[in-house]
């Protein structure tokens, strides 16, 4: 491949990276909020969230991307391709993240909370200083696994015309009639992105372990 092809691949990789990164950040926070609301056992709210999580997890990502992008004008919403892609990825990953967070809530030892409250801690201080650091530590593998899956599933956004890494790879293959070099290059870039993510996970786990001590 020539330099122009590599430049196009890097541009596609950047598109994949920034769209996925925004969706990942929003999905982690929203997923935590969903888990907290479900554990609060608020009537109707819990049932609505269970329905959302079930539908989002069961719906193919490419279908969700198409539905949001094509249905937005019907509801009078002006939504460009990038916004539709971010929204679809966020809704998808938030549902999976919510289950990861909820599992961490369920597995948390109640004895620790009772001991902390007996020592005079408020619920807020207990959650911030004891519960949340331990939850982050136990949830990190599941969260990072979902982040990796989202990045590898992100080619679904190409269905609405976004030129991501996979779409660029297909275009180069169609022009050069040599599919293997761009595919291998794209695989290398995906591996690099996932590798950086795993490195961040290792650093975050060390910090979370120190906070939980």
Give me the residue spans of the domains in the chain: 3-212
82: closest CA among 190, 160, 198, 24? 160
Please give the pLDDT value at position 206. 77
Angular region, 122: left φ>0, alpha ψ -120 to 50, beta rest: beta
Q: Which residue has the tokens 């679809």?
A: 88
| Eight-class DSSP state of 177 | S
Burial 9-20 (b: 16+ CB within 10 A, else e): beebbebbbebb
Per-residue 3-state assignment (H helix, E strand, C coil) for 38-83: HHCCCCCHHHHHHHHHHHHHHCCHHHHHHHHHHHHHHHCCCCCHHH
Q: What is the pLDDT of residue 210?
A: 67
Residue 36 in tokens: 């907290």
CATH second-level architecture of 3-212? Orthogonal Bundle (1.10)
* pLDDT number for residue 82: 95
What's the CA dihedral at 52, 60, 26, 67 to 10 degrees? -80
Instruction: Output the pLDDT for position 122.
Output: 76
Integer Rg of the chain from CA: 20
Q: Give the C-alpha separation, 130 to 211, whole Å.
A: 8
Residues in the chain: 213
What's the pLDDT score for residue 212?
54
Tokens encoding 68? 């949001």
**Average pLDDT per 10 consecutive residues for the chain, totaling 213 residues:** 87 96 96 92 91 95 95 86 96 96 83 74 76 81 93 94 93 89 94 91 75 56
């Amino acid at each position: 491949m020539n330099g122009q092809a590599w430049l196009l691949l890097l541009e596609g990789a950047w598109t994949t990276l920034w769209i996925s990164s925004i969706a990942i950040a929003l999905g982690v926070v929203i997923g935590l909020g969903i888990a907290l609301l479900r554990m609060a056992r608020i009537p109707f709210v819990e049932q609505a969230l269970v329905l959302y999580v079930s539908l989002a997890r069961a719906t193919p990502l490419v279908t969700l991307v198409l539905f949001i992008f094509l249905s937005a004008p019907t509801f009078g919403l002006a939504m460009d391709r990038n916004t539709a892609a971010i929204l679809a990825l966020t809704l998808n990953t938030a549902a999976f993240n919510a289950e990861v967070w909820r599992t961490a809530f369920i597995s948390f030892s109640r004895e620790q909370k009772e001991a902390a409250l007996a020592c005079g801690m408020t619920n807020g201080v207990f959650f911030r200083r004891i519960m949340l650091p331990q939850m982050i530590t136990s949830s990190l593998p599941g969260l990072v696994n979902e982040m990796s899956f989202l990045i590898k599933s992100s080619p679904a956004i190409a269905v609405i015309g976004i030129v991501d890494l996979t779409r660029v790879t297909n275009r180069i293959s169609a022009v050069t009639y040599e599919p293997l070099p761009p595919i291998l290059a794209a695989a290398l870039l995906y591996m690099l992105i996932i590798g950086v993510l795993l490195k961040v996970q290792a650093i975050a786990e060390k910090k979370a372990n120190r906070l939980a001590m």
